[in-house]
Structure 1
Amino acid sequence: MIIGVTEHGHKELVAVEDGHRESEASWRELLTGLRERGLDNAPKLAVGDGALGFWKALSKVFPDTRHQRCWVHKTANVLDKLPKSVQPKVKSDLHEIYLAETRDGAHKAFDSTLRRFRDKYPKAMENLEKDRDELLAFYDFPAAHWIHLRTTNPIESTFATVRLRTKRSRSCGNRDTTLSMVFKLLQSAQKRWKRIKGFNQLKLVVNNVQFRDGERVDDQSGRDAA
């Protein structure tokens, strides 16, 4: 399932297909279908969880698209490798990273977390550190968009409803019937999706206006010069 955003800031269902266990081939088929349907310009940023198949396929179909890893999924993955008694402390540290006002601030918080927990919990910190750049890509986009770019929650919350419905239905029929039911459920959910903040800045992103720490680079340089 892929969600996009219109020029007026409305989230819109772009594609949904069944696939084989998040495989690269399945994702590549879906993404290639988008390009063939008219998505000629590569998306500026894609937000997703740790599904390797998606990122591999994206790099082949839209090689210019930046990668942003979902902080909700990353937090869950890191905490899963920790004793419950330590999880609140690490979770608080992770909040300090992605809520930092600047990329430099995020890196400092990142380094602090690694120093604090790496010796005792190497697997958890390795899981965090390996996606460092992809976790902080959102800093190169408008600050108003950050809340939307740090997570895939719109997809996850929508699919929770879909999973609940399919479990209750038990037997959903054949492949086409199941896919049609999922599509209709997603269409219905789409009506409740909230408009993104700062949608008026989407045009700037599409037109390759550069941002640093959430602010336009030309605006920042103008203040620095003053």
Structure 2
Amino acid sequence: MLSAVNADGSTPNGARTDEIVREGARRMLWPPRSRPRSTHMAELAGQWDGDGRRLVVRNGYHQPRQVTTVGGTVEVKAPRVNDKRVDEVTGERKRFSSAILPAWCRKSPKVSEGLPLLCLQGLSSVDFVPVLEQFLGSSAGLSPATVTRLTQQWQALNKIIGDVDELPAFYDFPAEHWIHLRPSNPIESTSATVRFRTKITKVAKVAGSPAAALAMVFKLVESAQARWRAVNTPHLVALVRAGTRFERGHLVERAEAVTA
């Protein structure tokens, strides 16, 4: 992380402001960070093993680690507990986990929430590290992969919103056919069968022309469909092809819509 210095190498007075803030945050975190351990041990103080020793005792602190907050990167140490109790279901030793500083925590939730917002402002994921390390430090745990992971839920939401008209389209077909219409990619399932066979038989080279290759592909599909599962209620296919109206999977015999 870069720092501003004077021409003679001294540090401006204002440059220590961030350091003071981070040190204050670190000191304020110290009592709350140890409080869950004290509470946890107080609740289990009456549990002893067969030799008269406590099953749950203090075990110092974990190695220091950097936690990125909106005020910068702070070095903290999480408390450790030596818990000799065994889970009756899994047979594994129970573990103490601090609610304030979990083992996986490297960034505060506010930092994680803010990263996707920068994407909306046009900041490329590859630019996050050089830009934000000036504010949060070079060891803040920021990377293009981190930003991509944090924006995945937005990408999923955009997929749903973008295809809002297509997603419920199967309601306009017979309910008996929904099981055939709702695979993630039914067209790709058919194409995979043809692609595998054309690669083995080298249809493009053997056919000699696009028209002949298309005819051979059609025959491959015909051959493959012998092992396909038949459509449920096949007599309804003729109604669908004739343009018969279905609502919520039910046949509409009159002009009025079928009520729920």
TM-score bin (small chain) = 0.3 to 0.5
Q: Which protein is bigger by CA-based radius of gyration?
A: 2
TM-score of the superposed pair, with normalisation by structure 2: 0.32
Higher helix share: 1
TM-score of the superposed pair, with normalisation by structure 1: 0.36
